């Protein structure tokens, strides 16, 4: 297939790769703001030099506080665990849906917790370290989408609640969604931004575990509620890994304008090209690229480009770095050269 324009490709170098290169462990990186200098000088800077000729095709870690997807959960009182050699995880808070409803009806001060205070110190340290850069306050404290947040708070029993206590589950989801909106507005105020923007998006992987038959009842209303609370109706992007073909028609009901399926074993790029009328991305997972040779990577790129995704990308995580996967990253980037020239695979 002859391409009409250069294909957008990207390698996302995750912060955990820089942590590994620096010699720190992930627990130190997340919990000790004084470790940042070593992380940056011995981790990020060497990676910058390694990829200096790749321009914006390689997205390197920026001068931010550590990215913690569970910042909102920590603000609600959830316990976040920080293993030495893997990403943080969170313990469930509620033993019943009723307990969850009662807790979510409380008023919550998102700044009154140890995680926020640590990130506030981290922010001040970054401002001193990078006096000429704009540092977003506590930028790394992120939130998840409604279904993922509900499952992490309630545990896997949430999926049982959907069948046994459907009305209570919907009330819990409503409260969770509204609290995510409040948390996002809180962060926007900290950064000096309007509470409501032209467009917005979400990361909601655990929504994929809801069957297509229940998606319209237990997912779409809360996706819409969250995005309507944070935007005026412009662009809506969605990161949701693990979806199946039966889920795809529902994306239109949520007004999704850009879809990032990430690791979704039941989907293919050609399937998305046929089913969706919106731009989508396609990922070559790092665990997969490490099992591929140069010809395998080139064949994967050829097949993927033929489906015309908006962005084709892979990631460099700590395992890629440990296993000297730089060569695989180079193979990936070089595989696009013939498409840039408009050649037929």
Which H or E run includes 283? strand 281-284
Q: pLDDT per residue over 174-187, tens digit each?
A: 999 999 999 999 99
Domain assignment present for residue 120? The answer is yes
Count CA atoms within 13 Å of residue 109 on its CB side: 5
Going from the C-alpha of 154 to that of each of 88, 118, 339, the distances in angstroms are 18, 26, 47
What's the CATH number where 123 sits? 3.20.20.210
Question: What b/e sequence results for 279-294 when a residue is b if at least 16 CB atoms lie within 10 Å of its CB, and e otherwise?
Answer: ebbbbbebeebeebee
Domain assignment present for residue 146? The answer is yes
- Mean per-residue pLDDT for 200-229? 98
Domain assignment present for residue 307? The answer is no
Q: What is the pLDDT of residue 2?
A: 38
Question: What does the alpha-carbon distance between residue 341 and residue 256 come to, in Å, rounded to a whole number?
Answer: 32
The pair of structure tokens assigned to 259 is 């879809």
Q: What is the pLDDT of residue 5?
A: 55
Q: What is the pLDDT of residue 113?
A: 97
Average pLDDT, the chain: 94
The pLDDT of residue 342 is above 90: no
Question: What does the alpha-carbon distance between residue 51 and residue 231 come to, in Å, rounded to a whole number?
Answer: 36
Count CA atoms within 13 Å of residue 175 on its CB side: 21
- Mean per-residue pLDDT for 76-90? 96
Q: What is the pLDDT of residue 234?
A: 84
Largest Cα–Cα separation, the chain: 61
Q: How many domains does the chain have?
A: 1
Domain assignment present for residue 159? The answer is yes
Q: pLDDT per residue over 282-338, tens digit each?
A: 999 999 999 999 999 999 999 999 999 999 999 999 999 988 788 999 999 999 988
Q: pLDDT per residue over 115-159, tens digit each?
A: 999 999 999 999 999 999 999 999 999 999 999 999 999 999 999
The pair of structure tokens assigned to 213 is 């038959």
The pair of structure tokens assigned to 214 is 């229940």
Q: What is the pLDDT of residue 341?
A: 63
Q: pLDDT per residue over 22-73, tens digit each?
A: 999 999 999 999 999 999 999 999 999 999 998 889 999 999 999 999 999 9
Determine the structural domain holding residue 106 and report its residue range. Answer: 65-195
In the chain the first and final C-alpha atoms are separated, in Å, by 7
The pLDDT of residue 4 is above 60: no
Q: What is the pLDDT of residue 233?
A: 81
Q: What is the pLDDT of residue 324?
A: 79
Domain assignment present for residue 40? The answer is no
Q: What's the pTM? A: 0.94
Question: What does the alpha-carbon distance between residue 137 and residue 187 come to, in Å, rounded to a whole number?
Answer: 8
Domain assignment present for residue 181? The answer is yes
Q: What is the pLDDT of residue 3?
A: 42
Q: What is the pLDDT of residue 1?
A: 38
Domain assignment present for residue 245? The answer is no
Domain assignment present for residue 34? The answer is no
Q: What is the pLDDT of residue 8?
A: 87
Q: Are the C-beta atoms of residues 39 and 19 closer than 8 Å to each other?
A: yes
């Amino acid at each position: 297939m002859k391409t009409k324009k250069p294909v957008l490709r990207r390698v996302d170098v995750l912060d955990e790769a820089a942590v590994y290169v620096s010699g720190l462990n992930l627990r130190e990186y997340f919990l000790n703001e004084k470790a940042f200098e070593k992380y940056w000088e011995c981790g990020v800077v060497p990676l910058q030099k390694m990829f200096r000729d790749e321009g914006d095709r390689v997205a390197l870690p920026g001068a931010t506080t550590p990215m913690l997807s569970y910042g909102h959960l920590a603000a609600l009182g959830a316990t976040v665990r920080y293993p030495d050699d893997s990403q943080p995880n969170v313990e469930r808070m509620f033993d019943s849906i009723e307990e969850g409803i009662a807790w979510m009806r409380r008023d919550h001060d998102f700044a009154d917790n140890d995680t926020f205070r640590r990130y506030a110190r981290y922010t001040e340290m970054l401002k001193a370290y990078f006096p000429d850069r704009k540092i977003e306050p506590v930028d790394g404290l992120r939130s998840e989408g409604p279904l993922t947040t509900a499952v992490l708070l309630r545990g896997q029993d949430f999926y049982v609640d959907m069948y046994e206590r459907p009305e209570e589950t919907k009330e819990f989801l409503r409260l969770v969604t509204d609290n995510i909106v409040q948390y996002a507005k809180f962060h926007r105020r900290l950064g000096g931004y309007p509470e409501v923007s032209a467009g917005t998006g979400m990361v909601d992987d655990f929504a994929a575990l809801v069957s297509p038959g229940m998606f319209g009842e237990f997912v779409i209303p809360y996706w819409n509620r969250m995005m309507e609370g944070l935007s005026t109706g412009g662009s809506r992007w969605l990161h949701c890994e693990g979806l199946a073909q039966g889920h795809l028609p529902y994306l239109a009901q949520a007004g999704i304008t850009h879809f990032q399926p990430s690791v979704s074993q039941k989907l293919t790029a050609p399937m998305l090209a046929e089913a969706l009328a919106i731009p989508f991305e396609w990922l070559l997972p790092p665990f997969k690229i490490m099992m591929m040779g140069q010809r395998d990577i080139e064949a994967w790129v050829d097949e993927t480009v033929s489906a015309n995704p908006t962005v084709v990308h892979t990631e460099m995580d700590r395992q890629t770095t440990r296993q000297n996967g730089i060569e695989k990253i180079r193979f990936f980037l070089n595989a696009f050269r013939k498409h840039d020239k408009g050649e037929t695979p």
